[in-house]
Amino acid sequence: MNPLRRILSVLLLLALAAPSAGQRVVKSAEQRQVEAVVRGGLFCARQGFQLRAREGGGLFGRDGREEFGAGYALGVRVAGGYCLAAPAVRPWDFDAEAEGYAADYEPVAAAAAFAPLTAALEFSPARPDGAGRQPLCGDALYHYPAAVSPDSAFPADPYYGEKQGWLVWAVTEGRPGPGVAADFVAYRHALRLSPDTAAFALRPPALVGGRQVLGGVFVVPVVARVGTVEFRLCGIVVPVPGGGWSLCCPFAAEDPPGAPASGALTPVGGKDSPATKPDKKKRKKKEKA
């Protein structure tokens, strides 16, 4: 069974309340259930970079290292590929020191690596294929086509409208890196999604002990069939250059089934208004004729 689908109590997941509960240190059973469901669809992505001299083409690292810097971001598995936030694609745009060399050097991508979100991050080399890469939400997020197992991919929520679900933040116990522990902060969240609102500013959770936000997802529980709840991906939390976080929602493309069609005529005054009420006298005269 898809790990993103769990036979859970429908009442437990759909009776959504205020989002403040996720700020507590002690996690509820409900929060732990949600975290267990989404964990398999998420990973930590690392992208290193070097600086190349505009004259001569020499490559440079920093402080005796081969790399000048590296960016870390949350990776999200979706149908047909995965999504990476900008720090794992253009890490130099999030490195203030790299800007000081822009006149004489240009950034180039170096080694990339992925790690599952476990008790201690263990990175394995990766080679993201940029040939079919597509930017989403401007350039805050990127989709990479790849073969992804359906068992580990989030199904996307394709509909606009009111959304009540879970905002799940991925956090690390300090600066992301090999051996650093990863964890989650989850709480309920609600929003209204429309063609005019594809991104929402977010306030990150209050963290203590040097914990840092890696990214996050907004998932909506949907009853797929009796007794089965499917968590659909509505949005991905991405960093904003200069500070801050935004919820990017690029997957919705249509109104939910049964929603009134846009531009449909609406009777004024309702069915009993003078404009729509049939004239009984005229009808009787017509019948006698």
pLDDT digits (tens, 9 = 90+) for 110-139: 999 999 998 899 999 999 988 889 999 999
Residue 2 above 60 pLDDT? no
pTM, full prediction: 0.80
Residue 270: pLDDT over 60? no
Q: Round the average pLDDT of the chain to a whole number and report it.
A: 85
Q: Which residues contact 47 (CB under 8 A, 6 or more apart)?
A: 70, 71, 73, 87, 88, 89, 91, 109, 110, 112
Phi, psi (5° rounding) for residue 32? -65, -35
Q: Give CA angle at 220 (215, 223), nearest 5°.
A: 150
DSSP classification of residue 120: S
Yes or no: say if 266 and 254 are a contact pair by the CB < 8 Å rule.
Answer: no
